[in-house]
């Protein structure tokens, strides 16, 4: 992707607005809640940061993705859950408080894990010459782009709660608009190849999305996590922060590769439909379970 206003200004700005919106919804209590849900948080983080990158690696190999598309999909797997997971978890009757906690903790940890996973993908799929040196400047950029706006949002929430409530809705709306524009810009920049890319990576992205949600729901249930929390983890793991992945892939000062933006862009489109289907399924299950408990014996 050639350096332009899109890559140097718009992508970081879009992510900044989205991260600001996330910060407006977070409090320090969300991080302290790890003590309340220790098993659910640990299981969710293991699925998100341990199982999914491995699954994604083998999916990329299985589908024979080109090196750049494979790295783009791995970049998505390394990205934390998206704030949209909170909405879908609410619709599915999941534990939204757990979603917020996982988003906060996973987002903080990913600042450390994401560069290592991306470098592993670059070396694995593009050879030693494709690796990025772990320069402090680049890591600091990711910190600034992600952590800065989140911190500002949390500060506003802590100091001016009334203002944060007024800003919440317009910032969420603006975030959704930015997300659509970022996806549209990524697709437009590769419009000559988009049909071929969709044929190459569309099915792989769908399979990865379905497995993500399945892992996020089934593994916690096997580990003894209550179903309502398992639904929340499934949403958190299935709905990745595609905007973060697109920004890192497309930014002129980071990976600067438009082809790598395609997998997260396609995934971001697919996940809305699969998340809606999962929401309907989970909501029906939980509603029936609650009705069964409430019914007189």
| Domain contains 297 | no
Band the pLDDT of 134: cuts 50, 70, 90.
very low
Q: In the 8-state DSSP scheme, what is residue 83?
A: T
| Domain contains 31 | yes
| Angstrom distances, CA of residue 169 to CA of 7, 24, 55, 172 | 27, 10, 36, 5
Q: What is the pTM of this model?
A: 0.74
Could you tell me the CATH number of the domain that includes residue 29?
A: 1.20.1530.20
| Domain contains 290 | no
Which tokens hold the place of 126? 């593009």
| Domain contains 296 | no
pLDDT value, residue 253: 64
Per the structure, the complete domain to which residue 183 belongs is given by 5-285
Selection from 294, 228, 229, 239 nearest residue 270 by Cα: 239
Tell me the average pLDDT across 239-251.
Answer: 78
| Domain contains 293 | no
Residue 190: phi and psi, rounded to 5, are -120, 30
- Give tens-digit pLDDT for 16-57: 776 677 677 666 666 666 677 788 889 999 998 899 999 999
| Domain contains 294 | no
Band the pLDDT of 260: cuts 50, 70, 90.
confident
* Largest Cα span, the chain: 67
| Domain contains 292 | no
Domain count for the chain, please give it: 1
Number of Cβ within a 10 Å radius of residue 199: 9
How many whole angstroms separate alpha carbon 178 and alpha carbon 222?
A: 38
| Domain contains 216 | yes
pLDDT value, residue 135: 46
């Amino acid at each position: 992707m050639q350096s332009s206003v899109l890559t140097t200004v718009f992508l970081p700005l879009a992510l900044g607005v989205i991260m600001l919106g996330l910060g407006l919804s977070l409090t320090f209590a969300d991080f302290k809640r790890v003590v309340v849900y220790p098993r659910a948080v640990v299981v969710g983080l293991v699925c998100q940061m341990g199982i999914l990158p491995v699954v994604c690696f083998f999916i990329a190999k299985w589908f024979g993705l080109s090196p750049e598309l494979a790295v783009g999909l791995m970049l998505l797997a390394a990205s934390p859950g998206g704030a949209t997971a909170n909405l879908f978890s609410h619709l599915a009757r999941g534990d939204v408080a757990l979603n917020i906690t996982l988003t906060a903790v996973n987002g903080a940890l990913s600042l450390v894990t994401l560069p290592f996973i991306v470098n592993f993908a670059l070396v694995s799929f593009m050879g030693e010459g494709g690796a990025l040196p772990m320069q402090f400047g680049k890591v600091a950029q990711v910190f600034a782009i992600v952590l800065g706006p989140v911190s500002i949002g949390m500060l506003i929430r802590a100091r001016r709660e009334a203002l944060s409530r007024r800003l919440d809705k317009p910032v969420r709306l603006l975030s959704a608009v930015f997300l659509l524009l970022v996806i549209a810009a990524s697709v437009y920049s590769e419009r000559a190849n988009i049909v071929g890319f969709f044929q190459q990576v569309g099915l792989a992205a769908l399979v990865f999305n379905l497995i993500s949600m399945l892992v996020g729901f089934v593994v916690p249930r096997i580990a003894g996590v209550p179903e309502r929390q398992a639904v929340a983890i499934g949403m958190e793991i299935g709905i990745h922060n595609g905007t973060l992945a697109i920004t890192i892939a497309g930014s002129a000062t980071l990976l600067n590769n438009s082809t790598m933006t395609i997998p997260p862009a396609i995934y971001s489109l697919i996940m809305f439909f699969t998340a809606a289907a999962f929401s309907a399924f989970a909501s029906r299950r939980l509603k029936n379970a609650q009705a069964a408990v409430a019914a007189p014996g």
